[in-house]
């Protein structure tokens, strides 16, 4: 047979079989620790910029909150901007906080109520639904970092070829892979830098930080939550699925692929590294790139994981009527409630990534 379809199917089945064999050969806690160690290696580690001081770029009063823009740096030689939304009425009392991670589009402006040129977006929100603003209006400090490769962070080499290039995912992904690293690893390092910035702000309760990401931002969010327990609750939107039903079946941006990850576990088990911490999954019934069948299969596996950890109530889901988009009809309020729980564990020490 000239086509390689059978080969690919065989490789998938063998990878899953071997992962299951390893799973039964160790305790769940040993398995979780091993997967976290492997995950760090798979996405590639980056040197951390420990000496950078945040720079305030602007401060703008908005309806119900103040919008700041700060410049951060997590990796030496690279800086990035992030919007910080601070709800009105805090009266000096620290509040829970959320890292909001956008997906493919024109960057963090798309989730903080701005157009691509930085002007106020008064039109009907797109698939990101200005979700950072929605979270801030519920009483959480929100930081929305610019993800590498989008908006103002597209590469000069790509813009020189095409000023309208939508993103720089391909160049970033392929070149970093040549060094044994991934663009996911870079994005995680920078997102955890945003977590660190939140934890140091006077408006924020450092032990009550969550994360919410959409689509490719869901990938970044789950990786951050899996690797850093400073993140106490997470919402993953338009991403939860199985590799088999989505990433392997449907053409996605190359930034979604992490070499070797399927040799160790299917996506639901990777998502389960968040357990027993609170986790909310949402997806649209007609999402063409993260199908409902794969979402349901992932949820079933995750329920097993959370049940084993004695925390099944900490896993909540919403398969809403819609396509590839943010819903928020339950997840916004759920995240606020989780980060305000009176039984929230005390702050954990900062983990260097």
pLDDT in tens, 278-304: 999 999 999 999 999 999 999 999 999
The lowest-confidence range among 90-94, 249-253, 312-316 is: 90-94
pLDDT at 2: 86
pLDDT at 351 over 60: no
Give the Cβ contact number of residue 152 at 10 Å: 13
Q: What is the mean pLDDT of residues 41-69?
A: 96
Q: What is the mean pLDDT of residues 27-53?
A: 95
Taking Cα atoms as reference points, which of 246, 258, 256 lies closest to residue 284?
A: 246
| Cross-strand pairs, 97 | 141, 209
Distance between CA atoms of residues 274 and 236, nearest Å: 11
Q: How far is CA 336 from the centre of its chain?
A: 17
Taking Cα atoms as reference points, which of 138, 141, 112, 107 lies closest to residue 125?
A: 112
User: What percent of the chain lies above the pLDDT cut of 70?
Assistant: 97
**CA distances for 58 relative to 69, 71, 94, 100, 259, angstroms:** 5, 10, 21, 19, 39
Q: Which of 22-31, 82-91, 205-214 has the highest mean pLDDT?
A: 205-214
End-to-end CA distance of the chain: 45
pLDDT at 107 over 50: yes
Q: What is the mean pLDDT of residues 244-253?
A: 97
pLDDT at 349: 53
pLDDT at 233 over 90: yes
Q: What is the mean pLDDT of residues 1-6?
A: 88
Is residue 157 within 8 A of residue 242, CB to CB? The reply is no
Q: What is the mean pLDDT of residues 169-182?
A: 98
What is the pTM for the complete model shown?
A: 0.96
Q: How confident is the model at residue 146 (pLDDT cuts 50, 70, 90)?
A: very high
Provide the mean pLDDT of the chain: 95
Three-state SS at 47: coil
Q: What is the mean pLDDT of residues 34-47?
A: 97
pLDDT at 353: 40
Q: How confident is the model at residue 89 (pLDDT cuts 50, 70, 90)?
A: confident
pLDDT at 176 over 80: yes
pLDDT at 348: 52
Q: Are strands 95-101 and 204-214 parallel, antiparallel or unpaired?
A: parallel
Taking Cα atoms as reference points, which of 277, 281, 170, 269 lies closest to residue 225?
A: 277
Q: What is the mean pLDDT of residues 43-67?
A: 96
Residues 6+ apart with CB under 8 A from 186: 44, 46, 75, 148, 172, 176
**CA distances for 308 relative to 28, 36, 231, 295, 313, angstroms:** 9, 18, 21, 20, 12
Residues 6+ apart with CB under 8 A from 341: none
User: What percent of the chain lies above the pLDDT cut of 90?
Assistant: 93
């Amino acid at each position: 047979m000239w086509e390689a379809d059978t080969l690919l199917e065989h490789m998938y089945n063998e990878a899953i079989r071997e992962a299951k064999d390893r799973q039964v050969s160790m305790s769940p806690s040993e398995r979780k620790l091993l997967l976290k160690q492997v995950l760090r290696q798979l996405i590639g580690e980056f040197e951390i910029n420990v000496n950078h001081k945040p720079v305030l770029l602007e401060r703008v009063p908005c309806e119900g909150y103040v919008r700041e823009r700060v410049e951060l740096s997590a990796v030496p030689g690279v800086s990035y901007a992030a919007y910080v939304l601070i709800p009105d009425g805090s009266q000096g009392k620290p509040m829970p906080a959320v890292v909001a991670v956008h997906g493919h589009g024109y960057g963090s402006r798309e989730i903080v109520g701005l157009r691509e040129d930085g002007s106020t977006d008064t039109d009907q929100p797109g698939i990101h639904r200005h979700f950072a603003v929605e979270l801030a209006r519920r009483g959480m400090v929100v930081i929305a970092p610019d993800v590498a490769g989008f908006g103002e962070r597209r590469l000069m080499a790509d813009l020189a070829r095409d000023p309208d290039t939508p993103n720089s995912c391909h160049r970033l992904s392929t070149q970093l892979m040549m060094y044994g690293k991934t663009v996911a690893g870079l994005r995680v390092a920078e997102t955890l830098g945003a977590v660190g910035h939140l934890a140091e702000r006077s408006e924020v309760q450092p032990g009550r930080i969550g994360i919410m990401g959409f689509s490719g931002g869901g990938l970044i969010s789950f990786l951050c939550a899996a690797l850093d327990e400073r993140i106490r609750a997470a919402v993953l939107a338009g991403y939860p699925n199985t590799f088999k039903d989505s990433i392997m079946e449907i053409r996605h941006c190359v930034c979604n692929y992490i070499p070797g990850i399927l040799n160790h576990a299917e996506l639901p088990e990777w998502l389960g590294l968040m357990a027993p911490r609170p986790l909310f999954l949402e997806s649209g019934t007609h999402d063409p790139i993260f199908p409902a069948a794969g979402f349901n299969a992932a949820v079933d596996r995750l329920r097993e994981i959370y049940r084993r950890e004695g925390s099944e109530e900490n896993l909540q889901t919403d398969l809403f009527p819609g396509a590839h988009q943010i819903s928020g009809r339950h997840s916004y309020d759920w995240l606020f409630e989780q980060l305000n729980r009176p039984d929230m564990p005390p702050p954990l020490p900062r983990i260097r990534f």
